[in-house]
Amino acid sequence: NAGVMQNPRHLVRRRGQEARLRCSPVKGHSHVYWYRQLPEEGLKFMVYLQKENIIDESGMPKERFSAEFPKEGPSILRIQQVVRGDSAAYFCASSLDRRVGTEAFFGQGTRLTVV
Amino acid sequence: GENVEQHPSTLSVQEGDSAVIKCTYSDSASNYFPWYKQELGKRPQLIIDIRSNVGEKKDQRIAVTLNKTAKHFSLHITETQPEDSAVYFCAASIAGMINSYDKVIFGPGTSLSVIP
């Protein structure tokens, strides 16, 4: 389960800057999910990606947020023109199989602080 | 869509006592219910899951029960230890080929403190 790597672990950005969060899934996993966790709240689904495809982005804010999972390299969650309300922990998870019931393994998260 | 509620939001127990966390869900079609444990500053980790074809599942000091009629399920931790202190998340979804993990809906979490 140590295979999902997220970086950076902590990220501080000033309002208006861009934040780029990276996630390398478990080797061999082609399904990646991003979640946002606000203080004292649960995990809120943002986006589900497979290699080079966005499968479900129903949890993504319509503006400023984007995600990609290129053929080579990690998945990237990009937040443009960050605002204080974007401060949260962002987790990615990966799974071998898309089916519910197949365990998704989480990374340790990136804690974004917007000052 | 599915909605998952979880109670209590915080729970403190003495070491050795039992802890119970309860969740309810809204979609009667849901049939897969995982529980995740998240220690402070660490990643959520699956600790146990249950499917709707069983009413109870146990793994050492942890057990989960499911009542499909009432649409609620519970996590029971017996003989609690300080290392059980963490945030616990329940979740609900519909298992099967047509559904992928993005459809797993998490509850808001319960912060459990085990007092030595």
Q: What is the mean pLDDT of residues A71-82?
A: 96
Using a pLDDT cut of 70, give the percent of chain A over it: 94
pLDDT at res. B95: 65
Whether residue B3 is predicted with pLDDT greater than 80 in this model: the reply is: yes
CB of B6 within 8 Å of a chain A CB? The answer is yes
Taking contacts as CB-CB distances below 8 angstroms, the residues of chain B near A103 are 34, 46
Rounded CA-CA distance B56/A114 in Å is: 44
Please name the member of B45, B101, B109 whose beta carbon is closest to the beta carbon of A100. Answer: B101
Residue A78 β-bridge partners: A20, A66
Q: Which residues of B touch A44 (CB under 8 A)?
A: 106
Count CB neighbours of B8 within 10 A: 12
Confidence grade of residue B53 (pLDDT, cut at 50, 70, 90): confident
Cα(A109)–Cα(B10) distance, integer angstroms: 22
B39-98 residues touching A, CB cutoff 8 A: 42-46, 49, 51, 89, 93-97
Please report the beta strands in chain B, taking only residues with DSSP state E, as ranges in sequence order.
4-7, 10-14, 19-25, 32-38, 45-51, 56-59, 62-67, 72-77, 86-92, 96-100, 105-106, 110-115
pLDDT level of residue B102 (50, 70, 90 thresholds):
low
CB contact under 8 A, B102 and A1: no
Per-residue pLDDT at A1: 45
CA atoms within 13 A on the CB side of B96: 7
Residue in chain B lying closest to A35 (CA) = B102
pLDDT-derived band of residue B99, with 50, 70 and 90 as boundaries?
low
> Å from A115 to nearest chain B CA?
20
Greater confidence, A66 or B101? A66
Is residue B13 classed as helix, strand or coil in its secondary structure? strand
**Whether residue A6 has pLDDT greater than 60:** yes
| B70 pLDDT above the threshold of 90 | yes
CA-CA distance, A15 to B105, in Å (whole number)? 30
Average pLDDT over chain A, rounded to whole?
Answer: 91
Beta strands in A5-96 (DSSP E): 5-7, 10-13, 19-24, 31-37, 43-50, 53-56, 65-68, 75-79, 88-95
Residues A12-67: tens digit of each pLDDT = 999 999 999 999 999 988 899 999 998 777 888 899 999 889 988 988 999 999 99
Average pLDDT over residues B57-76: 95
